[in-house]
Each structure stands twice: as C-alpha cells, then as structure tokens.
Amino acid sequence: MRIPVSLVVNLVANGKPVEEILEEYPDLEPEDIRQSLLYAAWLTQERVYSFTNAEKQAS
C-alpha cells in the first residue's frame, strides 16, 4: 500500500497524534512519519538565486 507523503504531513500538520496515524495506517512505522517530515522540510528549504541583469550583459 502506498501512502503519499503529503497525506502524512497533512495529518501531522492538522494535529493528528502519531499514535493515531499509526493505528489508521498500520503499514506505516514511526520512522516513516519522521522521514515524511524530513522530506517536506527539504522540499521547502529556502534557496537564494542570483539573476544577472540582461541589459548589463548586452553592454
């Protein structure tokens, strides 16, 4: 059974206790929930990108 990371993160974000999540989704383990949160954190990391001005490069 596949359980999307987005579902797990949404359950945690809405205050569902880990124990209840594990009861509702017996294929999950506590480490799966932890990894889901780590993945979500990685996806939302702030990145700073530098852009050069096209007009400056043309001159």
Residues of the domain holding 53: 5-58
Confidence band of 7 (pLDDT split at 50, 70, 90) = very high
Give the pTM. 0.74
Question: How many domains does the chain divide into?
Answer: 1
Structure tokens at 5: 């990371």
Question: Residue 4: which of 28, 30, 31 has the closest Cα?
Answer: 28
> Is residue 58's pLDDT more than 90?
no
What are the residues whose beta carbons fall under 8 Å from the beta carbon of 22, sequence distance 6 or more?
A: 28, 29, 30, 33
For residues 1-14, give the mean pLDDT. Answer: 95
Identify the pLDDT of residue 55.
66
For residues 31-37, give the mean pLDDT. Answer: 97
Confidence band of 28 (pLDDT split at 50, 70, 90) = very high
The answer to whether 18 and 31 have CB atoms below 8 angstroms apart is no
**Rg of the chain on CA atoms, in Å:** 19
